[in-house]
Structure 1
Amino acid sequence: MMVIMSSATPTAPEREDFALRLLKGSAKKSYEPVVDIDWDAPLPEGLYFLPPHMLSLYGTPLWERMTDQQRLELSRQEFANYISMGIWFENMLNQSLLRAMMHSSPTSHSTFYELTELGDEARHMLMFGKAIERVGVEPFWPTKRGARRVNAMAMIFRGPMLWIGALVGEELFDAVQRQILDDGDDIQPLVRRVMRIHVTEEARHIQFARDGIRRDVGTLSRRTRLALSNLHGLGASLYFGHFTRRGLYDRIGLDGAEAQRQARANPHFHATLRAGFEPLEAFLREVGLMGPVARRMWAKNHFL
């Protein structure tokens, strides 16, 4: 019998035990959105798609002049924009995970969990796409240049940077989704169901990424640690720019440039961003990866 020796990088026993626990959790509670969501259920009239106080124009002079229908439509468009960004990010994360697996043992529990996460993320992309289709709007899709950037970032996310990138995407969205669920009584049932499924499964992904960072951070060189602690600040302008994209306001018949200006200066919206970033900021401080440059970037874009 020929014995094939694996040249893949071995995984620490503690990481394997942690991955096994997450695998068991996934086996007990995972979702199949195609069948676990009633896609044919009606969308009740008059219900928002996001809580009004979380919308980018809430509390601005322009908000006070908007009709109820325009406010509802803004919530629909911002919901579609939000989960469109989720599709981009999860596409990028899956590309990065697949590349990383080429350097991992195909028989480790960590690889098994990464494959489970890949499956989760693929179903989330399908769920988000079907949700956008169901609410009846066009997705907010990247330009050709933007798509190239997403693919380029997937190439950069390796080792500890992969887990930092995963958290910057997952934790911020997770915190915002939990705010949506907390204010869910007046929100569309479809939105609540999509958010509930995503929060449940992303909780395991966040635990896996946090464990990866805690495991690796002590082994990093000073130079690598300095780079990692500041590079994640690049996500601040990316998020802020896309959360307040002009197309949101053009679609509902507002003066896009003026609406964007008011949204970006809106203290109510800044408070929503800070609440969304707070858990991630606390974790990055805990592991010593909130560098001064990154802190300035996040603060400049109103996440701090």
Structure 2
Amino acid sequence: MTSATTGSETAPTHSDRQDVARRLLDSSEALSYDPTQEVDWETPLDTDFHGASPEWSTLYGTSYWDEMTPDQRRELTRQEAASVASTGIWFEMILQQMVLRDFYAKDPTDPAFQWALTEIADECRHSIMFARGAAKLRAPSYRPHRVVIELGRAFKALAFGEAAYAAILVAEEVLDVMQRDWMRDERVAPFVRTINNIHVVEESRHMKFAREETRERLANASRPRRQINALVISIVSYFIVTSMVSKKVYANAGLDSKRAVREAKNNEHHKSLLRSSCSGLMEFLSSAGLLTKASTWFYKRANLI
């Protein structure tokens, strides 16, 4: 495969892709975690801690937040963190199936093939870790709306190439930015900070691979193909981001659900936080030719632009 341009970037060659995969395999061997050993699962939940940085709460900056007691604020962030974790599990299961399907019957001696299996193994551990973390936060099982679940079922069965890998990248990038804040915040429960640290370290390798795969799959892609996939990726991104915090978290935190949903929907602080945190992601999508007029509409709806 020869080098080709993708947007304003140079697409990686097959040799480049193999080199990246080898480096990621080496990194995984040198620095990976076992959540069953690294996370403190035994110490009971200390309700004096938040589940996420308060500034990332969907109600932070609203009049409702100002009226809430410290206990209510902490409980809300714990429920929101559990909801984000549950959404992460949902999408990680989609991710695993797409990667397995993509590498089905390919050369197992290829470092990219071996890295793909390594990434799947990581995602399995992450999903179990998120599930145990949500349970320790005393949260119920939060799931996306039934329609979104069915759309995800179709996407994992049909998506391929850059549509699959760029969508994976969006989900991982959005989680990465917020979790980097949470893992450094001493107001957040220690076991949650450990979970976030593990995920950030290991997902950084996954994001590198997703970027390389996206660039390679777009090499020599036609303009119509870029336009179609840009739209698909933006729609998937919209459903991922808008599903992260379930509306049920407010009632489970003891709040007036209708008022909370209304104020969260109009929370300019949270919208601004999402936009600023996704600036690097949008730059990549733009450089790859995946930020079109149609796709921008969905990113704006999801408050990513």
TM-score (norm: length of structure 2): 0.91
Identity %: 32
Give a deviation string over 1:134-164, Cα, whole Å, max 9, x none: 1221120245554333222111221121211
Aligned to 2:137: 135
Q: Which moved more, 1:196-205 or 1:44-53?
A: 44-53
Cα distance in 2 for partners of 1:190, 1:112 equals: 31
Q: Report the CA distance between 1:243 and its aligned residue.
A: 3.7
Q: Report the CA distance between 1:199 and its aligned residue.
A: 0.4
Cα distance in 2 for partners of 1:86, 1:236 equals: 13
Query: 1:181, 1:195 within 8 Å by CA — same for their partners in 2?
Result: yes
Aligned pairs (5 A) from 1:1-304: 12-142=14-144, 145-182=147-184, 184-304=185-305
Q: Secondary structure at the match of 1:185?
A: coil
TM-score (norm: length of structure 1): 0.91
Cα distance in 1 for partners of 2:88, 2:245 equals: 15
The amino acid of 1:298's aligned partner reads Y
Query: 1:244, 1:264 within 8 Å by CA — same for their partners in 2?
Result: no
Cα distance change, pair 236–204 in 1 and its aligned pair in 2 (3 A): closer
Query: 2:38, 2:194 within 8 Å by CA — same for their partners in 1?
Result: no
Cα distance in 2 for partners of 1:59, 1:279 equals: 25
Cα distance in 2 for partners of 1:72, 1:199 equals: 23
Cα distance change, pair 238–145 in 1 and its aligned pair in 2 (3 A): closer
Q: Report the CA distance between 1:261 and its aligned residue.
A: 1.1
Cα distance change, pair 56–38 in 1 and its aligned pair in 2 (3 A): same
Cα distance change, pair 39–160 in 1 and its aligned pair in 2 (3 A): same
Query: 2:144, 2:246 within 8 Å by CA — same for their partners in 1?
Result: no
Q: Report the CA distance between 1:244 and its aligned residue.
A: 4.7
Aligned to 1:3: none
Q: Report the CA distance between 1:239 and its aligned residue.
A: 3.7
Unaligned runs of 5+ in 1: 1-10
Query: 2:144, 2:243 within 8 Å by CA — same for their partners in 1?
Result: no
Unaligned runs of 5+ in 2: 1-12
Query: 1:157, 1:165 within 8 Å by CA — same for their partners in 2?
Result: no
Q: Secondary structure at the match of 1:13?
A: helix
Aligned to 2:3: none
Cα distance in 2 for partners of 1:45, 1:72 equals: 7
Give a deviation string over 1:42-94, Cα, whole Å, max 9, x none: 43342111111110001111111212211111001000000001100100000
Cα distance change, pair 260–276 in 1 and its aligned pair in 2 (3 A): same
Q: Report the CA distance between 1:236 and its aligned residue.
A: 4.5
Q: Report the CA distance between 1:106 and its aligned residue.
A: 2.0
Cα distance in 2 for partners of 1:206, 1:214 equals: 12
Residues paired across the two proteins, number = 293
Cα distance in 2 for partners of 1:240, 1:33 equals: 25
Cα distance change, pair 260–236 in 1 and its aligned pair in 2 (3 A): farther
Q: Report the CA distance between 1:16 and its aligned residue.
A: 1.2
Q: Secondary structure at the match of 2:278?
A: helix
RMSD (Å), alpha carbons: 1.7
The amino acid of 2:221's aligned partner reads L
